């Protein structure tokens, strides 16, 4: 069955399905509950389905997850945050598309997959470190005042690049907004609005480079209901979570992202051969 090819073609199909379902749920939960999640979802899906299929499936799943999150948190961000963020989504995605082309343009598939694994894992580890040190970063130099349009645009552009090549990067924006003293409601909503636009634009380079195709898009469609369940769970969590629980859950995702990223650095093929 073509829709199952991305799962059944993997070296360990049951593990591929398990990792994909877990990643799809965490994507919905993270988007609605935390405004983020790519730093754990991307390495999980890449480990489960391989680099190219994993990146493509997450890219498709991010659209409904972000759309529902935008609806759930509609009107909370405010125009002052969105004015510099929306153009940054286009600029960052364009630059990220060029970098992604450089990663996949030459070499056999094994080499291309290895490059993408290292990029996804490396960036995820960077964001794990950033979130672990978020308080020190937020308070460095005595903190900062309200976010300025130029700084917000630069942060959004870097995030757009990272999202295009690795489907992750939201901790960068979270730390930026925490440093500037934004409350949870505003920065979660701003991230979701940005990510919806950026994830939509990101499909263009993925299609042009052949990373996204009918085979892995079908696999993503099968996982959309799991992501939607995650969205509902995340919305309920968001409404009742204290600041301590909110960031505690963030840390839990960071730990998962750290472990899976280390596994990818060791090498997906090498690890799967041991199972």
Q: Taking the domains of the chain in order of start, what are their residue ranges?
A: 2-272
In whole angstroms, what is the distance from residue 127 CA to residue 164 CA? 15
What is the structure's pLDDT at 35? 62
pLDDT band at 218 (very low <50, low <70, confident <90, very high): confident
Confidence check: pLDDT of 1 > 60 = no
In degrees, to the nearest 5, what angle opens at C-alpha 10 toward C-alphas 261 and 252?
30
**Average of pLDDT values for 40-57?**
90
Closest CA to 186 of 58, 28, 78: 78
The SS3 of residue 271 is: helix
pLDDT, the chain, mean: 84
What's the pTM value of the predicted model, to 2 decimals? 0.85
What is the structure's pLDDT at 3? 66
**Average of pLDDT values for 39-45?**
86
What is the structure's pLDDT at 273? 82
In the Cβ-directed half-sphere of 238, how many Cα atoms lie within 13 Å?
A: 24
Question: Could you tell me if 61 and 224 are in contact, meaning their C-beta atoms sit under 8 angstroms apart?
Answer: yes
């Amino acid at each position: 069955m073509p829709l199952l090819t991305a799962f059944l073609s993997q070296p360990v199909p049951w593990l591929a399905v398990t990792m994909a379902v877990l990643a799809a749920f965490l994507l919905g939960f993270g988007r609605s509950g935390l405004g983020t999640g790519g730093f754990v979802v991307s390495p999980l899906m890449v480990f489960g389905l391989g680099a190219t299929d994993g990146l493509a499936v997450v890219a498709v799943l991010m659209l409904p997850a972000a759309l529902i999150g935008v609806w759930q948190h509609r009107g909370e961000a405010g125009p002052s945050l969105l004015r510099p963020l929306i153009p940054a989504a286009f600029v960052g995605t364009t630059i990220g598309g060029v970098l992604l082309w450089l990663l996949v343009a030459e070499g056999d598939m094994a080499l291309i997959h290895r490059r993408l694994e290292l990029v996804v894992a490396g960036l995820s580890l960077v964001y794990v470190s950033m979130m672990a040190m978020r308080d020190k970063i937020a308070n460095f130099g005595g903190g900062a005042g309200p976010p300025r349009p130029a700084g917000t645009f630069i942060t959004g552009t870097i995030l757009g690049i990272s999202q295009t090549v690795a489907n992750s990067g939201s901790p960068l924006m979270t730390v930026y907004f925490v440093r500037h003293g934004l409350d949870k409601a505003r920065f979660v909503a701003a991230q979701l609005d940005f990510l919806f636009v950026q994830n939509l634009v990101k499909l263009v380079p993925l299609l042009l480079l052949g990373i996204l195709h009918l085979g892995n898009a079908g696999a993503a469609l099968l996982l959309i209901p799991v992501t939607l369940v995650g969205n509902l769970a995340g919305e309920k969590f968001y409404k009742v979570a204290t600041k301590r629980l909110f960031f505690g859950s963030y840390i839990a995702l960071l730990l998962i992202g750290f472990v899976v990223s280390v596994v990818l650095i060791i090498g997906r093929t090498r690890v799967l051969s041991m199972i």
